[in-house]
A and B are shown apart, each in its own frame.
Chain A
């Protein structure tokens, strides 16, 4: 439906955007606006008062006192459409004798409108959304004081609309923050879930991850990722405490290790960096959470197998099972848990992982699970290694899972098994 161009304001596009912004069109009747139209009708002594919003091709009534059953009219015959063209109250004291309104259907037709006075509802940024108007079937004069009152009533309506807009913006803002927080929490949680293990050339790698509580991320983590060149990093860690604060520390440590490992040539230096990262923002102040971790760099050797260079921060030693001798070796690396001493340094221990050798890095949730009141201990880890080594890393993990299945587990348990091929 086209609308007579003469009643379209010059800034119509922006004005309609403002109408949309206040989001008032087609909202249910509302006491605040009803009171204003009642007050206007009573004050002017007229039968009809309307708060209207001028939409693209219609005039929609937010409140209509004395005009039951009419919710909106086309924009074409609307006197309000003319009223919003002006910044001052627009008045027809005797429409029957006013050339501006002779053609108007409300004036010429059955309705018999004779008096109209409308003040624009003007936004703080200068757009006329609609009007508050008073209407009578008799001609009427309007004093300056009454024009002033109409302006004040329009201002009251606008105050109400602005207030609602601000309240809605605040709710939307809060909602957006909540959505953002939920998204962040989900992203954090997703980043803490055990990663899909990459294919490490020359190695058979499998992992175990059993959180003590399904919905409480935090605690243990593991990671396997490529370093520059053809080397790989394997990390297992255990953050003290539970819940989101512990989870945040887990994310910090894991990602710091990933980042630092890209530039540092020494796993001990990487752990030192992760340790310092935990103190960021704390100075040398003590921390609420600590972390034990075992980090190994695996460098492929020309003759097959790997040179394993490892560092540890308060973590259980990673046993290695030698295929050639059937004997176990423990890493000699030692170090303070991360987050205890800002100045902590971590040494790197080196050993060879030859074809068939199996290395297991695990968290103490595994060895500290109890079976018949006794701890599984390192023995359970060694048993699983002995039983599964020939078959492969997955078989060792299956052995560890079987040991846990029959045990009382109180803490998260995680392990990475690497077998050199």
Chain B
């Protein structure tokens, strides 16, 4: 299942979802802003209790505060529904720096490598 959406400005935005049993991998690429963040949120399927979701953000070239708030929402949802969430990222990248400055790692498991 792949959704692709190209912004009029900036990098092409795309979300790919792979689901195997109770494990979901959501791969996001391009820019996550007010316009594209809702697409990412809608693309994430229901995850079973005890299941796991990996959000692969290694190819996200930009994320703004709306994407940060979506990440908070995802963490809240995971805790409420009893599944685990991890975010895959590249340390030192724009996304990595934002995750770092917000101490996202205190709430969400951060992975550096696939």
**A positions within 8 Å CB-CB of B:** 238, 240-241, 286, 290, 292, 312, 314-317, 334-337, 340-341, 344, 364, 368, 370, 373, 375, 408, 410-411
Contacts and interface: CB of A to CB of B under 8 A. Distances in A.
B107 A340 contact: yes
Closest 7 CB pairs of A and B: A373-B9, A286-B76, A314-B102, A240-B69, A368-B64, A336-B103, A340-B72
B83 interface: no
B8 to A, nearest CB: 8
A377 to B, nearest CB: 9
Contacts of A410: 33-35
17 contacts: A238-B65, A240-B65, A240-B69, A286-B76, A290-B69, A290-B72, A314-B68, A316-B101, A317-B101, A335-B102, A335-B103, A336-B104, A336-B106, A337-B72, A370-B9, A411-B34, A411-B64
Interface in B36-87: 62, 64-66, 68-69, 72-73, 75-76, 80
A375 B66 CA distance: 15
Contacts of A373: 9-10
Contacts of B72: 290, 337, 340
Count class of interface residues, chain B = 20 to 34
A317 B107 CA distance: 20
Nearest to A408: B9
A312 B101 contact: yes
A398 to B, nearest CB: 25
B100 interface: yes
Given A290-B72, A337-B72, A373-B10, A364 B101 contact: no
B65 A370 contact: no
Nearest to B34: A410
A373 B11 CA distance: 9
A316 B66 CA distance: 14
Contacts of B100: 334
A333 B66 CA distance: 21
Nearest to A367: B64
B9 to A, nearest CB: 4
Given A292-B68, A373-B10, 15 more contacts: A238-B65, A240-B69, A286-B76, A290-B72, A314-B68, A314-B103, A334-B100, A334-B102, A337-B68, A337-B72, A340-B107, A364-B65, A368-B33, A368-B65, A373-B9
A364 B69 contact: no
A411 B35 CA distance: 11
A341 B106 CA distance: 10
Contacts of B73: 286
Given A334-B100, A341-B106, A368-B33, A292 B76 contact: no
A191 B9 CA distance: 36
Contacts of B68: 290, 292, 314, 337
Nearest to A313: B102
A317 B98 CA distance: 10
B83 to A, nearest CB: 15
B109 to A, nearest CB: 15
A372 to B, nearest CB: 8
